[in-house]
Amino acid sequence: MLMILERLRTLALCLVLGSLVLVPEVVVGLSVPDSVRIPAAETRASPTAALFSHWSHNQYSCYSCHPSLFPMKKKAFTHVDIARGQYCGACHNGKRAWGIDDDGIECDVCHVDD
């Protein structure tokens, strides 16, 4: 009987600690916009700002990118930054995910009008 109570106490502790880890993600998720317009840094090269979809990247945790790759505010960056492995280029490098210079990738994949 004592062993069962000990296991139940351990399970309860794991559930409480687990919820402390998951709750911030859930709470943050409630206020996350589906899409974020990334300001254009190169107005002559990119007349349309890029549109980032949180929904299409939902297999990742918020903490996969924030704040290590992206600050929690809109920030302009360039294709050169991406090619250097910064911002979107940390994943969209042609290895982990398609790269900006891959065949078949058109500008309007990211640079979408409203």
What pLDDT score was predicted for residue 31?
A: 76
Series of mean pLDDT values for 10-residue runs along the chain (114 residues): 70 59 50 86 71 92 92 89 95 95 92 79
* Alpha helices for 31-102 (secondary structure H): 79-83
Domain boundaries, the chain: 1-31, 33-114
- Kindly report the CATH number that applies to the domain delimited by 33-114: 3.90.10.10
Question: pTM above 0.85?
Answer: no
Between strands 50-53 and 35-38, the pairing is antiparallel
What pLDDT score was predicted for residue 104?
A: 93
What pLDDT score was predicted for residue 16?
A: 56
DSSP E strands in 6-110: the ranges are 35-38, 50-53
DSSP E strands in the chain: the ranges are 35-38, 50-53
Residue 52 near residue 114, CB atoms below 8 Å: no
